[in-house]
Amino acid sequence: MGVTKTEIFTEQQNRIADLAKAFSHPARVAILQLLISRKACVCGDLVDELELAQATVSQHLKELKRIGIIHGEINPPRVCYCINPVVWSEAQKTFGSLLDTFAPTESCCN
């Protein structure tokens, strides 16, 4: 199996790929949608809301936290999660800029 050579890509390319990972699994999208819909931190009931196994939810929360798109506050015995508005804004700007760079032409692959 090959090794991913992230060092050959720019910091910006690696960050775009990282931000894209936040949206690359339906469970992560569902978690983000739930957090957005609550408009507040969500404490402990993600498993019940999503009908997924605790281990699955934990794995996806860990990845979303690693990317930085969510915050987690530990208030034993619960952990509360919410959207990180700074990173959310970064994702909006990053994907908007990337998607805006494409201008379709009639001669492309017809």
Q: Which residues have a Cβ under 8 Å from the Cβ of 15 and sit 6 or more positions away? A: 94
Domain edges within the chain:
9-95
Please provide the average confidence, as pLDDT, over all residues in the chain.
87
The residue-averaged pLDDT of 65-90 equals: 89
Q: Which residues have a Cβ under 8 Å from the Cβ of 68 and sit 6 or more positions away? A: 84, 87
pLDDT of residue 47: 84
pLDDT of residue 2: 58
The dihedral of CA 50, 69, 64, 77: what is its sign? negative
pLDDT in tens, 9-48: 999 999 999 999 999 999 999 999 999 998 888 887 788 8
Task: Identify the DSSP state of 24.
Answer: S
Q: Which helix (H) or strand (E) holds 72?
A: strand 70-75
The residue-averaged pLDDT of 84-98 equals: 95
Q: Which residues have a Cβ under 8 Å from the Cβ of 30 and sit 6 or more positions away? A: 50
Q: Higher confidence at residue 51 or residue 60? A: 60
What is the CATH number that goes with domain 9-95?
1.10.10.10
